């Protein structure tokens, strides 16, 4: 039983009553999280990728970007700086870069966990369920694996022949392993429709996720989708507000893609149901090269400033940067 039915969801997605939707989403966020906003420091440690996703600037065939890989010591140094500056969650993210062996990722996780009182999230793409299980044993707490869309034909097209079933199998295996699991979609991919977004919302809700991220599609000039229209920002805000109504206790980030439309995009997201922000703490020398879409990491800041700026953003809304790890509040139904 959903808290909203498909017709109501469609009504709100079409802009039927934005004021009511955003007010309700803000109330539900407040009831579940109070004034606390969780901050996740994201270390984008490699922009090398073996995939060809048509939407993403890191895709392997893109020869226009300057590729980098941080060494283990560099990753540990950045994680340390983030932790010392108050971050309670370190997100390790990269392209699908298999040069980081299972053992190496395991060592990085173990070392971060032994040195700092933080949660570690892995966003490393399609590594095997066995590898993720091993990293869970090493101490990793969470994963972030977006489905990008829940339409299998669109998925197959945008990810060049890959199968949504396989991605979903991985997401479910990670839940079984015991991870807090995050997933989500991109709003406004080629071929999407409002009916598809309704289906996405219900599908993501059924997955009982600990975190759901949904940001607008932003075309990258060096991808096959360079001429595709940018995702609709209002539909994106409505989507996350509806996620909040359907998943009251799930962590929902105000994605950095929102800031590509409006410098206050993440603030608006936090006022409309989101309760998480994920500042990049990638070293200044590499930040701009993590160019998933234009505008990403365009401001050159060091780790300290990145976290301070995020905290200031939270305070500017009269919210409070949480001093906890912001672990998932939601309990999954036993099936
Ligand atoms: N390689 C891993 C994976 O694909 O799961 C993690 C890194 S990937 C760059 C992180 C996320 O960036 C993807 O899940 C996708 O949602 C987002 N992304 C990539 N290209 C995008 C674009 N053009 N617009 C909006 N989001 C995009
Ligand atoms: Fe690689 Fe992830 Fe980008 Fe796909 S979305 S090209 S897997 S970094």
**Rounded to the nearest whole angstrom, what is the distance from the C-alpha of residue 292 to the centroid of ligand 1?**
7
Structure tokens at 137: 């044993």
Query: Rounded mean pLDDT of the chain?
Result: 95
For residue 289, report the distance from its CA to the centre of ligand 1, in Å: 14
Stretch among 58-62, 167-171, 187-191 having the lowest mean pLDDT: 187-191
Residue range 232-273, pLDDT digits in tens: 999 999 999 999 999 999 999 999 888 888 889 999 999 999
Residues annotated in the binding site for (3R)-3-methyl-D-ornithine, as ranges? 123
Residue 333 lies in a domain: no
Confidence of residue 297 (pLDDT cuts 50, 70, 90): confident
DSSP 3-state of 112: helix
Residue 304 CA to ligand 1 center (angstroms) comes to: 25
Q: Is the CB of 53 under 6 A from ligand 2?
A: yes
For residues 83 and 63, what is the distance between their CA atoms, to the nearest angstrom? 34
Q: Which of 35-39, 45-49, 330-334 has the lowest mean pLDDT?
A: 330-334
Does the pLDDT value for residue 133 go beyond 80? yes
pLDDT for residue 141 is more than 70: yes
- The domain in which residue 278 lies consists of 6-321
Verify whether ligand 2 is closer than 6 Å to residue 314 (CB atom): no
Structural tokens at position 74: 């560099």
User: What atom of ligand 2 comes closest to residue 126's alpha carbon?
Assistant: 7
- 298 pLDDT band, cuts 50/70/90, is confident
19 CA distance to ligand 1 centroid (A)?
Answer: 30
Known binding positions:
49, 53, 56, 123, 148, 159, 167
Residue 330, in any domain of the structure: no
Please compute the mean of the pLDDT values over residues 40-67 and round it to a whole number. 98
Q: Could you say which DSSP state residue 69 is in?
A: B
Alpha helices in the chain (DSSP H): 6-13, 18-33, 72-84, 102-115, 129-138, 152-158, 164-177, 194-206, 233-246, 265-271, 284-287, 303-316
What residues flank ligand 1, with Cβ below 6 Å?
55-56, 58, 93, 95-96, 123, 125, 145-146, 148, 186, 215, 217-218, 220, 257, 292-293
Does any ligand 2 atom lie closer than 6 A to the CB of residue 49? yes
* Inter-helix orientation angle 72-84/303-316, to 10°: 40
- 327 within some domain: no
- Tell whether the model's pLDDT for residue 188 goes beyond 60: yes
Of ligand 1's listed atoms, the one at least distance from the Cα of 49 is 1
Considering the domain boundaries, does residue 103 fall inside one? yes
- At 1 the pLDDT is 59
Evaluate whether residue 329 is within a structural domain: no
Could you tell me the CATH number of the domain that includes residue 276? 3.20.20.70
CA 8 distance to own-chain centroid: 26
- Given a cut of 60, whether residue 335 has pLDDT beyond it is no
**Mean pLDDT of all residues in 79-84:** 97
pLDDT exceeds 60 at position 40:
yes
H helix and E strand count, the chain: 12, 9
Of 53, 56, 160, 164, best ligand 1 pocket probe by most atoms within 8 Å of the beta carbon:
56
Domains held by the chain: number? 1
d(CA 273, CA 271): 6
On whether residue 331 sits in a domain, the answer given is no
Which residues face 46 on adjacent strands? 69, 94
Dihedral sign, CA of 202, 194, 158, 47? negative
- pLDDT at residue 198, as a whole number: 98
Give a yes or no: residue 158 inside a domain.
yes
Of 127-131, 221-225, 256-260, 280-284, the range with the lowest mean pLDDT is 256-260
Is the distance from the beta carbon of residue 57 to the nearest atom of ligand 2 less than 6 Å?
no
The residue nearest atom 21 of ligand 1, judged by CA position, is 56
25 confidence band (pLDDT: 50, 70, 90): very high
């Amino acid at each position: 039983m959903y808290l909203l039915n498909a017709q109501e969801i469609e009504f709100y997605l079409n802009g039927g009553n934005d004021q009511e939707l955003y007010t309700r989403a803000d109330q539900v966020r407040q009831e579940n999280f109070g004034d606390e906003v969780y901050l996740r420091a994201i270390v984008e440690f490699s922009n090398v990728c073996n995939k060809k996703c048509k939407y993403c600037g890191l895709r392997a065939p893109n020869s226009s970007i300057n590729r980098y890989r941080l060494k283990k010591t560099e990753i540990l140094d950045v994680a340390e700086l983030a932790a010392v500056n108050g971050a309670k969650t370190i997100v390790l993210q990269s392209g699908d870069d298999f040069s980081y062996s299972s053992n190496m990722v395991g060592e990085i996780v173990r070392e971060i966990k032994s040195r700092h009182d933080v949660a570690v999230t892995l966003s490393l793409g399609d590594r095997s369920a066995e590898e993720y299980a091993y990293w869970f044993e090493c101490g990793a707490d969470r994963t972030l694996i977006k489905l990008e869309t829940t339409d299998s034909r669109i998925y197959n097209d945008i990810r060049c022949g890959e199968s949504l079933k396989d991605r979903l199998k991985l997401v479910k295996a990670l839940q079984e392993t015991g991870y807090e699991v995050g997933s989500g979609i991109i709003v406004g991919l080629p071929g999407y429709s409002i009916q598809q977004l309704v289906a996405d919302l219900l599908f993501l809700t059924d997955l009982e996720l600990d975190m759901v991220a949904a940001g607008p599609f932003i075309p990258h000039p060096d991808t096959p989708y360079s001429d595709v229209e940018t995702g609709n920002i209002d539909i994106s805000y409505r989507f996350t507000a509806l996620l909040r109504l359907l998943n009251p206790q799930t962590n929902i980030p105000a994605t950095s893609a929102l800031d590509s439309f409006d410098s206050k995009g993440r603030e608006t997201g936090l006022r409309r149901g989101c309760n998480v922000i994920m500042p990049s703490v990638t070293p200044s020398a590499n930040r701009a090269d993590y160019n998933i879409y234009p505008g990403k990491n365009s401001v050159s800041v060091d780790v300290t400033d990145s976290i301070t700026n995020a905290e200031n953003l939270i305070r500017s809304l009269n919210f409070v940067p949480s001093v906890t790890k912001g672990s998932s509040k939601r309990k999954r139904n036993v099936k």
